[in-house]
């Protein structure tokens, strides 16, 4: 087991994730681990799925958002919080702010799914829109925070966010013990960075593999080139994975602890949505199904293994879900 220390002057450790777990205890849901004999037979492995679609605000993002807000100093927190987000972090931060009784301002793309916008507003946050294909979300998000005098809680490139997301893996290993391979949905890399930090501390080796949509392979390119690669905003049904580059913090963790990144097509994501719904009675959003898609499509060899997979979110409207799965 890797020795653990507590310092954000270097990469976080499992100790930092355990501190995050204590902060969110009793607030975040301990989400279920799901199994399916049909899935096991289809992929030739024993699969355990961490169902973060049942997390508060509908995705794993609540873990990191609440931890980050809770970790702020009282004076910082009182000013309120701001961020930029395609939807799930927006909802998560809005809820985390509401639970701390502080204001939140969220920059969201103008084509963000309507249910995500409605939920963010429903938690009490101010929503400001931008064009994700023509404008830079990070600079606009910082500008919004500066205008409001608020603390910025980024969607992934923040140590407290990363450690909060890693609590999903803490729960998974606590419940099921060892897995040989852990498949994780990847956007900006917050979830996989947190999960890989926990996996590295296990007594037995765990192979951590990330999954991106084919059109949005910025992390795959970055790890292959050993430098951060920026791409154009990807055109994919996986709206939660339309990132253009990993952050410096998530990249630093992934280059050390993630074995590889594989990609899946939008059609393969749709097939995973159908499988989860029809065979596991679970509704996933496209970006929450990418890891399952890679498993079903045979993107990596898992024959005979015990495999963990993240069902990272389920925030999709009924009309959009019906459109995606109709064909």
Side-chain half-sphere exposure of 312, counting CA atoms within 13 A: 33
Active site residue 116: no
For residue range 272-284, what is the model confidence (pLDDT) as tens digits? 999 999 999 999 9
The pLDDT of residue 20 is 98
Element (H, E) at 54: none
> What local confidence, expressed as pLDDT, does residue 106 receive?
94
pLDDT number for residue 3? 44
User: What is the average pLDDT across 68-84?
Assistant: 95
Length of the chain, in residues: 327
Q: Which of the following is catalytic: 85, 222, 290, 312?
A: 312
Which pLDDT band holds residue 39 (cuts at 50, 70, 90)? very high
Q: Please tell us whether the domain made up of 14-60+158-325 is placed in CATH 3.40.50.880.
A: no
Half-sphere exposure of 275 (CA within 13 A, CB side): 26
* pLDDT tens string 133-186: 888 878 888 888 899 999 999 999 999 999 999 999 999 999 999 999 999 999
The arithmetic mean of pLDDT across residues 16-22, rounded, is 98
Quick one: how far is CA 153 from the chain centroid? 15
**Catalytic residue among 52, 212, 217, 268, which?**
212
Q: What is the pLDDT of residues 234-292, one digit of tens each?
A: 999 999 999 999 999 999 999 999 999 999 999 999 999 999 999 999 999 999 999 99
pLDDT at 113: 86
pLDDT band for 8, please (50, 70, 90 cuts). Answer: low
Give the pLDDT of residue 133.
86
Q: Which CATH number fits domain 61-152: 3.40.50.410, 2.40.110.20, 3.20.20.70, 3.40.50.1100?
A: 3.40.50.1100
Q: How many CB atoms lie within 10 A of CB 309?
A: 32
Domain spans of the chain, in order of start:
14-60+158-325, 61-152
DSSP SS3 for 260:
strand
Residues 86-143 pLDDT 10s: 789 999 999 999 999 999 999 998 988 888 899 999 999 999 999 988 888 788 888 8
Q: How far is CA 70 from the centre of its chain?
A: 19
Kindly state the average pLDDT of the residues 199-204. Answer: 95
Q: Is 218 a residue of the active site?
A: yes
Catalytic residue among 189, 194, 216, 314: 216
Catalytic, 216? Answer: yes
Catalytic hit among 218, 266, 268, 285: 218
Task: Supply angle C-alpha 27, 31, 35, rounded to 5.
Answer: 175
Same fold, 14-60+158-325 and 61-152: yes
Cβ pair 114, 317 in contact under 8 A: yes
The chain-wide mean pLDDT, for the chain, equals: 94
Placement of tokens 């998974």 in the chain: 172
Q: In angstroms, rounded to a whole number, what is the distance separating the alpha carbons of residues 283 and 303?
A: 26
Which entry of 86, 193, 222, 287 is annotated as an active-site residue? 86
Whether 199 shows a pLDDT value over 80: the answer reads yes
> Is the pTM value of this prediction over 0.85?
yes
Nearest to 274 by CA among 323, 212, 210: 323
Hey, CA dihedral for 57, 59, 61, 67, is it positive or negative?
positive
Question: Do 90 and 115 touch, CB atoms closer than 8 A?
Answer: no
């Amino acid at each position: 087991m890797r020795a653990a220390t507590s310092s954000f002057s270097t990469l976080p450790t499992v100790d930092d994730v355990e501190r995050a777990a204590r902060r969110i205890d009793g607030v975040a849901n301990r989400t279920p681990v799901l199994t399916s004999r049909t899935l096991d037979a289809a992929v030739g492995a024993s699969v355990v799925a961490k169902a973060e679609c049942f997390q508060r605000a509908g995705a794993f993002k609540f873990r990191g958002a609440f931890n980050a807000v809770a970790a702020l100093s009282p004076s910082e927190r009182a000013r309120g919080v701001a961020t930029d987000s395609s939807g799930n972090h927006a909802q998560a931060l809005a809820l985390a702010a509401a639970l701390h009784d502080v204001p939140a301002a969220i920059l969201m793309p103008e084509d963000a799914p309507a249910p995500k916008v409605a939920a963010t507003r429903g938690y009490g946050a101010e929503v400001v829109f931008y064009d994700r294909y023509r404008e830079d979300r990070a600079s606009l998000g910082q500008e919004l925070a500066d205008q409001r005098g608020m603390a910025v809680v980024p969607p992934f490139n923040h140590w407290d966010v990363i450690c909060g997301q890693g609590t999903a893996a803490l729960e998974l290993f606590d419940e099921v013990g060892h897995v040989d391979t852990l498949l994780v949905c990847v956007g900006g890399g917050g979830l996989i960075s947190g999960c890989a930090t926990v996996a590295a501390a296990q007594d037995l080796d765990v192979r951590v593999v990330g999954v991106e949509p084919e059109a949005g392979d910025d992390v795959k390119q970055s790890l292959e080139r050993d430098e951060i690669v920026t791409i154009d905003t990807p055109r994919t049904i996986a709206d939660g994975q339309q990132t253009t580059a990993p952050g410096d913090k998530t990249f630093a963790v992934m280059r050390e602890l993630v074995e590889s990144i594989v990609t899946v097509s939008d059609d393969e994501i749709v097939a995973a949505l159908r499988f989860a719904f029809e065979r596991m009675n679970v509704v996933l959003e496209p970006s929450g199904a990418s890891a399952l898609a890679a498993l079903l499509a045979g993107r990596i060899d898992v024959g005979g293994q015990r495999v963990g997979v993240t069902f990272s979110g389920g925030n999709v409207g009924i009309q959009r879900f019906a459109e995606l799965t109709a064909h």
